[in-house]
Amino acid sequence: MADVRPFGAVRPLDSLAGDVIAPPYDVLSEEEARKIAENRRSFVRITRPEVDLERGTDPHSDDAYLKARETLEAFQAEGTLVQDEEPNFYFYGQQMGEHRQVGVIAAASVAEYDDGRIAKHEFTRPDKEDDRTHHMAVLGAQVGLVFLAYRPTEALAQLTAEVTAAPPAWQVTTEDDVVHTLWRAPLDRVEAIREAFAAVDRLYIADGHHRSAAASRIHAQRGDGASAYFLAGLYPADRLQVMAYNRVVDDLAGHDAAGFLAAVEGAGFTVEPTASPVPAERGTVTMYLEGRWYRLTPSAALRSDDPVAGLDVAILQDHILEPLLGITDPRRSSRIRFVGGIHGAPALASAVDGGAAVAFHLYPTGLDQLFAVADAGQVMPPKSTWFEPKLREGVVIRAL
């Protein structure tokens, strides 16, 4: 049973949504954030408040967090953000090209996160937990969605179709040509939506492990009803688009190109030149080396029924990146870079042609694989999934 509740959101005035909603705080450089903040209504001024302070200001300082709160209060006072009084569910859709997904923005249970009914699949870093906890505590609000996925149900599919058949509160096309749309559920359907989620056996964190951990820490400190829930966007797994999270390595750890190809074959891979830079199926990886693409197919001996060890990203790490290239800790190594699948194979070739040594293009990790890892209580390798389109910030806010 998923304890998912409606709430009265603080959200942009419908006519101003296009000015307010902003890319996720952690995908922007400071320069990108400052450029976006030239639009003074942009929510980036709350998620990246250093844009309103002197260059060089610590973005995790009290000055930055207090500036974020000042801006949030100013947005509310001037009417850029307005408060919905009635508790409700909000349906938030994104369309990128032919791909369309719609989720429900709601309050998810901290208790269910704490006891594992909201399943995790990655470790969190204490410094990032501290940052999100401090930001949430000073703001007195949850401003970033935890991205949750669930196995689809007919009841929720029907309710989604019903709500989204009506005119939306607003629709905005952002600079990346993604169409974002928000609907408020009819008040007489709120209880039906809550009951439909109660029939979902488990929720899974797709993205937002640090935000959910921060919400848990805030509730442990406060212990009140408001902090017992956290802001979440809940999406059916069959509607989500997962792209590959690819790798670029700066050097061959002492190998020349011919020696490295031989080492990959010796590690148990079939190596074949290919004209297609994108893997065609799960269980294969492509590699760009000295101007050529190769298809790498692991032998049966390298495959595993273990939900983590059997992932393509784990096979690459365990049998090539670590033993052949010396990348023992991809989270901390300065020799490896991660490239989201939205950038495509040309970005990998460009990186190698520009001076890196080798690039690897993976087949996307599936939601079924993510669920299997989480259900087993295990942890995904770092940078295993890249979701597109990204959920914007500032769509709705939940006050604490």
What tens digit of pLDDT does each residue of 164-174 get? 999 999 999 99
Q: Tell whether the model's pLDDT for residue 76 goes beyond 90.
A: yes
Distance from C-alpha of 227 to C-alpha of 371, rounded to nearest angstrom: 27
Give the number of other Cβ atoms within 10 Å of residue 172's Cβ: 19
Q: Which helix (H) or strand (E) holds 373?
A: helix 367-375
Give the number of other Cβ atoms within 10 Å of residue 392's Cβ: 20
**Residue 167's pLDDT is what?**
98
Q: Tell whether the model's pLDDT for residue 331 goes beyond 90.
A: no
Q: Do 265 and 346 belong together in one domain? A: yes
In a domain, 372, yes or no: no
Residue 279 Cα distances to 262, 282, 284, 293, 381, angstroms? 21, 8, 6, 11, 19
Written as one letter, the residue type at 17 is A
Q: Do 188 and 251 belong together in one domain? A: no
Q: Tell whether the model's pLDDT for residue 99 goes beyond 90.
A: yes
In a domain, 51, yes or no: yes
Q: Tell whether the model's pLDDT for residue 123 goes beyond 90.
A: no
In the block, tokens 């990346």 appear at 176
Q: Do 123 and 217 belong together in one domain? A: yes
What's phi and psi for 338, nearest 5 deg? -115, 130
User: Which residue from 56, 52, 31, 55 is spatially nearest to 43, judged by alpha carbons?
Assistant: 52
CATH code of the domain covering residue 309: 3.30.1760
**Average pLDDT rounded to a whole number, residues 192-219:** 97
Q: Do 236 and 258 belong together in one domain? A: no
Cβ atoms 285, 361 nearer than 8 A: yes
Mean of all residue pLDDT scores within the chain: 96
Q: Do 233 and 250 belong together in one domain? A: no
In a domain, 370, yes or no: no
In a domain, 67, yes or no: yes
Instruction: Find out whether the peptide bond into 389 is cis, omega within 30 degrees of 0.
Output: yes
- Between the CA atoms of 369, 372, 373 and 375, what dihedral angle is there, to the nearest 10 degrees? 150
Q: Which letter, b or e, does each residue of 90-107 get, where b requires 16 or more Cβ atoms within 10 Å of its Cβ?
A: bbbbbbbeeeebbbbbbb
Q: Tell whether the model's pLDDT for residue 225 goes beyond 90.
A: yes
**Average pLDDT rounded to a whole number, residues 342-357:** 97
The total domain count for the chain is 2
Q: Do 91 and 114 belong together in one domain? A: yes
In a domain, 381, yes or no: no
The two structure tokens encoding residue 73: 């209060």
125: confidence class by pLDDT, cuts 50, 70, 90: confident
**Average pLDDT rounded to a whole number, residues 106-129:** 94
Q: Do 153 and 293 belong together in one domain? A: no
Q: Do 178 and 260 belong together in one domain? A: no
Task: Give tens-digit pLDDT for 140-190.
Answer: 999 999 999 999 999 999 999 999 999 999 999 999 999 999 999 999 999
Q: Tell whether the model's pLDDT for residue 272 goes beyond 90.
A: yes
Among 25-29, 88-92, 107-111, 394-398, the minimum mean pLDDT is found in: 25-29
Q: Tell whether the model's pLDDT for residue 326 goes beyond 90.
A: yes
**Residue 117's pLDDT is what?**
96
Domain that holds residue 286: 245-363
Distance from C-alpha of 59 to C-alpha of 354, rounded to nearest angstrom: 32
Q: Which residues is 149 bridged to in the sheet?
A: 204, 235
Q: Do 295 and 233 belong together in one domain? A: no
Q: Do 257 and 211 belong together in one domain? A: no
Cβ atoms 34, 51 nearer than 8 A: yes
**Average pLDDT rounded to a whole number, residues 374-387:** 94
**Residue 1's pLDDT is what?**
83
User: Which residue from 101, 69, 396 is spatially nearest to 231, judged by alpha carbons?
Assistant: 396
Q: Do 263 and 234 belong together in one domain? A: no
Q: Do 123 and 57 belong together in one domain? A: yes
**Average pLDDT rounded to a whole number, residues 288-313:** 97
Cβ atoms 232, 342 nearer than 8 A: no
pTM for this entry: 0.94
Percent of the chain with pLDDT over 70: 100
Q: How many Cα atoms are found within 13 Å in the side-chain-facing hemisphere of 213?
A: 17
**Residue 179's pLDDT is what?**
98
In a domain, 378, yes or no: no
In a domain, 330, yes or no: yes
In a domain, 9, yes or no: yes
SS (H, E, C) 29-44: CHHHHHHHCCCCCCCH
Q: Tell whether the model's pLDDT for residue 377 goes beyond 90.
A: yes
28: confidence class by pLDDT, cuts 50, 70, 90: very high
The two structure tokens encoding residue 393: 């910030």
